[in-house]
With several copies, the nearest count.
Chain A
Amino acid sequence: MVWRHDNEMQRMLRDSIEAHVSANHSTDRVRECREMRAGFDPQEWRAMADLGWTGVLLSEENGGTGLPLSEALPLAEVVGRNLIPEPFVASAIMAATVLNAADNKVSQVIAEPLADGSRVITLAFQEQTGMKGATVPSVTCKNGKLVGNKLFVPAWSDITDLLVTCILDGDLAIVFIPGNAEGLAASPAKMSDGSLMTTLEFSGVAVEPENILLQGQPALDALNLAIANGTLALCAQMEGLATAAFEITVDYMKSRVQFNQPISDFQANRFTMVDLNGEIELGGASWRQALLNLDENRFEAARVSISAAKARCSEMVLAVTKASIQYHGGIGFTEEADIGLYLKAALRLSPWLGGAVYHRMAAYDMYREGQVDAGK
Chain B
Amino acid sequence: MLENNHEDMSILSDDAFRMKFRDWLETTYPDEWKNPVVFRLHGAEETRWLRMLCDGGFRCPSWPREYGGMGLGLRKQLIYHEELERIGAARNVDTGATLLGATIIRHGTDAQKQKYLPEVLNGDCLWCQGFSEPNAGSDLASLKTTAVLDGDEYVINGTKIWTTMAPFSHKIFLLARTDMNAPRPQQGISMLIVDDMKQEGMTVSSITNLNGEAEFAQVFFDDVRIPVTNVIYEVNKGWDVAKAMLGDERIFIGSPTLANQTFAVLEELISKMGKDTDTIFKAEVAKAFCDLNDLRALFAQVCDAAIRGVADGKTYSTIKMQASETFKRISDTLINVAQEYGPSVGHPDLDGFEKDILAFFLIARPSTIYGGASEIQKTIIARDIFGPPAKR
Indicate if A touches B (C-beta under 8 A): yes
Q: Which residues of A are interface residues toward B (Cβ below 8 A)?
A: 2-5, 126, 129-130, 151-152, 187, 189-193, 197, 199, 250, 253-254, 257-262, 264-271, 273-275, 277-278, 281-283, 285-286, 288-290, 304-305, 308-309, 311-312, 318, 322, 325-326, 329-330, 332-336, 340, 343-344, 347-348, 350-352, 354-358, 360-361, 363-365, 367-368
Is B370 in the interface zone, CB < 8 Å from A?
yes
| Stretch from B39-47, B232-240, B307-315 at the A interface | B307-315
**Among A129, A275, A318: residue with most chain B CB under 10 A:** A129
Contacts of B282 in A (CB 8 A): 361, 364
Whether A363 and B369, one on each chain, are in contact in the complex, defined by CB atoms closer than 8 angstroms, is no
Interface residue from B336, B365, B389 paired with A357 (Cβ < 8 Å): B336
Contacts of B369 in A (CB 8 A): 326, 329-330, 332-333
Whether A361 and B283, one on each chain, are in contact in the complex, defined by CB atoms closer than 8 angstroms, is yes
**A282/B295 contact (C-beta < 8 A), A273-B382, A333-B366, A360-B287 known:** yes
Q: 6 closest Cβ contacts across the A-B interface?
A: A289-B297, A364-B286, A285-B298, A270-B382, A192-B343, A3-B305
Whether B210 and A343, one on each chain, are in contact in the complex, defined by CB atoms closer than 8 angstroms, is yes
Beyond contacts A289-B301, A326-B365: 14 other A-B pairs, Cβ-Cβ < 8 A, are: A2-B312, A152-B340, A192-B344, A262-B390, A270-B386, A277-B385, A289-B300, A305-B297, A308-B294, A334-B209, A335-B209, A343-B365, A357-B281, A368-B276
Nearest CB of B to A334, in Å:
5
Whether B210 and A335, one on each chain, are in contact in the complex, defined by CB atoms closer than 8 angstroms, is yes
Is B180 in the interface zone, CB < 8 Å from A?
no
Whether A189 and B280, one on each chain, are in contact in the complex, defined by CB atoms closer than 8 angstroms, is no
Nearest CB of B to A227, in Å:
14
Interface residue from B300, B310, B341, B343 paired with A3 (Cβ < 8 Å): B310
Whether B137 and A274, one on each chain, are in contact in the complex, defined by CB atoms closer than 8 angstroms, is no
Which residues 268-288 of B sit at the A interface, judged by CB distance below 8 A?
273, 275-276, 279-287
Of chain B, the residue at the smallest CB distance from A265 is B389
Whether A329 and B339, one on each chain, are in contact in the complex, defined by CB atoms closer than 8 angstroms, is no
Interface residue from A288, A336, A343 paired with B301 (Cβ < 8 Å): A288
Whether A258 and B343, one on each chain, are in contact in the complex, defined by CB atoms closer than 8 angstroms, is no
Is B21 in the interface zone, CB < 8 Å from A?
no
Contacts of A283 in B (CB 8 A): 294
Whether B390 and A3, one on each chain, are in contact in the complex, defined by CB atoms closer than 8 angstroms, is no
Whether A357 and B381, one on each chain, are in contact in the complex, defined by CB atoms closer than 8 angstroms, is no
Contacts of A325 in B (CB 8 A): 210, 365
Interface residue from B318, B343, B361 paired with A191 (Cβ < 8 Å): B343
Interface residue from B280, B284, B294 paired with A282 (Cβ < 8 Å): B294
Is B207 in the interface zone, CB < 8 Å from A?
yes
Whether A355 and B212, one on each chain, are in contact in the complex, defined by CB atoms closer than 8 angstroms, is no
Contacts of A189 in B (CB 8 A): 344-346, 348-349
Rounded to whole angstroms, the CA-CA distance of A197 and B209 in the bound complex is 24
Contacts of B308 in A (CB 8 A): 5
Rounded to whole angstroms, the CA-CA distance of A330 and B139 in the bound complex is 13
Rounded to whole angstroms, the CA-CA distance of A354 and B341 in the bound complex is 11
A-B contact pairs, 14 of them (CB 8 A): A189-B344, A191-B345, A258-B142, A261-B389, A265-B386, A269-B375, A274-B381, A278-B322, A283-B294, A308-B294, A326-B365, A330-B366, A355-B339, A357-B281
